[in-house]
Structure 1
Amino acid sequence: MNPLVESPRAIVTGASGFIGSHLLGRLSREGWQIAVIARTASASDLASNPAGPKVYTYTGQTSEVVEAVAEFRPQVVFHLGSLFLAQHDAAQIAPLISSNILFGTQLLEAMRLAKATALVNTGTAWQNFSGAVYNPVNLYAATKQAFEDILIYYVQTAGIKAITLRLFDTYGPADTRRKLLALLIDSLKSGEPMGMSLGDQVLDLTHVDDVCTAFLSAANLLLNHEEPRHEVYAVSSEERHTLRELVAIFEEIAGKRLQITFGARPYRDREVMEPWQGTRLPGWHAKISLREGMRRLLLAENLFSPRS
């Protein structure tokens, strides 16, 4: 019998983030019983929805996480909570360590004590600069790798079954992050010029609906296996384009040229020019093409007519 048929229980961290919020909706629609562990501000927002998940507030204490996992008894933990910083300063080191290493370790210890064994973890392709097995683009990526190293200890000693999904660029509706497609939509609306780098870096964009499917597929794999393990998979659309090509595709679909000046900005330090080629999650592939995803975004903004 497929375990996912029996209304499983899941704890989600990072539920207030872009991907986490979409995953929360997907789990709810598919009949999962859901709880979230969230910091005070996010917990208040999540708890304001009477039809929403059970909310456990986290203020940094290990005991809070232990009590949440023990009480809710999840079959799967989806760990998306993290602090993303493309570049950091000295004052941000403590928050990075706390969010990306300490909290995850507290979660693993809580799983050990509650004998909860299935974890779907979130990594980043930025752990693999220049295609290396491990070469972090920035300190954020280094903290993600550090957590994976701690995870291996719990796999070996606590029987944890884990899959880490290393994500590339993601996009989709209700995205408040200042990512590429949001910037292009703003430029389309305003007509204002925008400066970019030379645009030769290759990008891999995956729609959030496909990303959520990957998380569910990973959970299903874990629930159908008994042995402790940690496996790493790439969640890649396998549809890769340079920044220049992406802008051209967007302009084609929107039916309008944007005022983009390539070369107006330098590449960032350790710019990823060619994305890592990782092993794809078994049984999963992206279904929403980049063009279709762009059409959906433009349609939602009333910037695209299906007849055009």
Structure 2
Amino acid sequence: MKRRALVTGATGYVGSKLCQRLLIDDWTVDVLTREAGRQLGTTLAGSVTSHTYDGSTESVLAAVTESKPDVVFHLASLFIAEHRRDQVTDLIVSNVLYGTQLIEACVRQNVKYLINTGTSWQHCRSDAYDPVCLYAATKQAFEDILEFYTDSFPLRAITLKLFDTYGPEDTRPKLISLLLNALKTGEHLGLSPGEQKLDLVYVDDVTRSFIVAAEQLLSNVSAEKHESYAVSSHQYISVRNLVALMEDISGKRLNVTFGDRPYRDREVMYPWKAERVLPKWKAEVDVRAGLSRLISLGE
């Protein structure tokens, strides 16, 4: 019998790639998308059943009721590294309210398993909670709410805390995408001093972590009601060395200037060294291999 997934954040990069992976693995996939959000990509259109979130708990409940998922994958979020005061409401609604409505719908419809998406930015300078920014604080706030629900209802959950994700067809304005574009166009790119280190995880490894987490929940191998794991490569590369590596792979010089912009407030200079990594999962694509794929594709 086919397993059924309900996925939020399917219009985002990692969410869309997860949906593709689930379809390849023969899951039936439903997605919950915002009324005013971006449309599903052509790869997913016609392959998934789409439900609309209009901001109400009732719309989420309707989607959960209709889809009857075995596992809910919650990837929807709003990422803002440095927020403005007029963005506070959007951050709370997207990263706290929406997820809480989703959990409420799950427990009302007796959905047993949920996989949540956290961020390594919940741990700025230590293993303890130390949010880099308001975005990271909202992710922690939702995780605390999730803890209440798993303690109070027959719901089990896993939170996967992601680091820097990258891969093909990534249109997000992230560093690797900007560097790849600069390789193709030769345009100048102003960077920070570049000493901060990154934990880069290729998107195929990231989506596989969600599948592994789902199997862990479905197999009932753990007695914990809510587990939290890092999805880390445990390989760290500075921005300066990343630029040098891309130049080495491509045989081209990048037109970049280090120090053109200052570090952000609370810049993460070294990634969180998480000790608890998802069982039966490890990153398989190292940075050189992942970048080589993207450069060969002309990404």
TM-score norm. by structure 2 comes to: 0.95
Q: Which residue of 2 aligns with 1:247?
A: 243
Contact 1:198–1:266 under 8 Å retained in 2? yes
What's the % identity of the aligned pairs? 50
Deviates more, 1:97-106 or 1:180-189: 180-189
SS in 2 for 1:12: strand
Deviates more, 1:40-49 or 1:55-64: 40-49
Q: Deviations over 1:209-265 (max 9, x none)?
A: 000000000000011117461111110111111111111111100111212211221
Q: Which residue of 1 aligns with 2:185?
A: 190
Match of 1:52 among 47, 56, 73: 47
Match of 1:157 among 152, 160, 164: 152
Q: Which residue of 2 aligns with 1:306?
A: none
- Is 1:89 paired with 2:88? no
SS in 2 for 1:37: strand
Q: Any unmatched runs of 5+ in structure 1?
A: 1-5, 303-308
> In the alignment, residue 300 of structure 1 is paired with which amino acid?
L
Contact 1:37–1:58 under 8 Å retained in 2? yes
- Is 1:287 paired with 2:280? no
Deviates more, 1:36-45 or 1:20-29: 36-45
Q: Which residue of 2 aligns with 1:266?
A: 262
> In the alignment, residue 283 of structure 1 is paired with which amino acid?
K
Q: Which residue of 2 aligns with 1:298?
A: 295
Q: Provide the rounded CA distance (Å) in 2 between the counterparts of 1:201 and 1:289.
A: 19
| Residues 26-45 of structure 1: pairs in structure 2 closer than 5 A | 26-42=21-37, 45=40
TM-score norm. by structure 1 comes to: 0.93
Q: Provide the rounded CA distance (Å) in 1 between the counterparts of 2:289 and 2:41.
A: 31
Q: Provide the rounded CA distance (Å) in 2 between the counterparts of 1:130 and 1:49.
A: 39
More helix per residue: 1
Deviation of 1:41 after TM superposition, in Å, equals 3.5
Contact 2:10–2:40 under 8 Å retained in 1? no
> In the alignment, residue 50 of structure 2 is paired with which amino acid?
V
Contact 2:118–2:162 under 8 Å retained in 1? yes
Q: Provide the rounded CA distance (Å) in 1 between the counterparts of 2:75 and 2:45.
A: 23
Contact 1:14–1:79 under 8 Å retained in 2? yes
SS in 1 for 2:21: helix
Contact 1:194–1:261 under 8 Å retained in 2? yes
Deviates more, 1:47-56 or 1:158-167: 47-56
- Is 1:136 paired with 2:137? no
Alpha-carbon RMSD across the aligned residues, in angstroms, is: 1.6
- Is 1:12 paired with 2:7? yes
Report the number of matched residues.
297
Contact 2:20–2:44 under 8 Å retained in 1? no
Q: Deviations over 1:267-288 (max 9, x none)?
A: 0110001111111110100111
| Residues 181-260 of structure 1: pairs in structure 2 closer than 5 A | 181-225=176-220, 227=223, 229-260=225-256
> In the alignment, residue 269 of structure 1 is paired with which amino acid?
D
Q: Which residue of 2 aligns with 1:75?
A: 70
Q: Which runs of 4 or more aligned residues in structure 1 lie more than 3 Å from their structure 2 counterparts after TM superposition?
A: 41-50
Deviation of 1:132 after TM superposition, in Å, equals 3.6
Deviation of 1:44 after TM superposition, in Å, equals 5.0
Q: Provide the rounded CA distance (Å) in 2 between the counterparts of 1:22 and 1:46.
A: 10
